Amino acid sequence: MSTLTSIPLNRAPDAVDRLQVLLADYPGLTQDADSYCWSMLKNAKLHSADAGTVLFHEAMECKHLMLIVEGIVRVYKDSDDGREMTLYRVEPGHLCIHNLNNLVDGVSYPVRAQAETFVRGLAIPREDFHQALDESSSFRKYVLRTLTERLSHMANLISGLAFERLDLRVACWLIKQFEQSRGRPIELTHSDVAHELGTTREMISRILKELEHKRCIQLSRGRIHLLCKYTLNIAGAGKGRTK
């Protein structure tokens, strides 16, 4: 990680107040936190990284638990032929399941975590993490809840890969992106979409052209425009598709 700041919070007299502000997106962690959990949090340090920084990969050992307080981290898997697939993103209020698993059992996974934007986070040392896991019942419950939620997400992802056609996955993914952008054009290249869904740019280009032909979307350089939400929803449901 490219560290811009490294500030021990336990030296400040108002450490808990500062932590509550920084961790406003983590109510499940802070609201019921016991004294052992607060002790761990007060030993954390603020770190930051520029967009594009690889925060960890298979050959790196996770030495900290990172609580993101600003920015977005993309967790993805790549292949020998250059393809990528986004597994999930970590934003304020979320934890990285691979970060957690590595800290718990020491196993490295063949994934990468990369700062998609400028990122700030609270870094909790491995030793403090394990001590809190042993002593803090509130922290243990929070970790278990997080693992359960993330495992459910990963199960849905695997199910989609195994049982859903790629064209339906593309349409459903576009629907979510347009919902987030409130119908405004999405600034994405065909390669970006391919990296999100774990396929090739050529396959994505063919499917996007089909959706454009059906007048669901309009393609322009680096952008995808929504033309008809209704027809895109039909495409995402797998209806009206000629074989």
For residue 237, the model assigns a pLDDT of 72
Q: Which two tokens stand for residue 215?
A: 């007048």
Check residues 120 and 146 and name the one with the higher pLDDT.
120
Average pLDDT over residues 126-137: 95
For residue 10, the model assigns a pLDDT of 53
For residue 242, the model assigns a pLDDT of 38
- pTM for this one? 0.71
For residue 238, the model assigns a pLDDT of 63
Which among 205, 211, 171 has a CA at the least distance from the CA of 190?
205
pLDDT of 226 higher than 50 = yes
Q: Where in the chain is the domain with CATH 1.10.10.10?
A: 165-237
Give the architecture (CATH level 2) of 7-162: Sandwich (2.60)
Average pLDDT over residues 200-226: 92
Q: Where in the chain is the domain with CATH 2.60.120.10?
A: 7-162
- Give the pLDDT band of residue 162 (cuts 50, 70, 90): low
Cα separation values, 231 from 27, 109, 177, Å: 39, 39, 15
Residue environment code for 18-52, b if the CB has 16+ CB neighbours within 10 A, otherwise e = ebbebbebbeebbeebeebbbbbbbbbbbbbbeee
Going by CATH, does the domain composed of 165-237 fall within 3.40.50.1000?
A: no
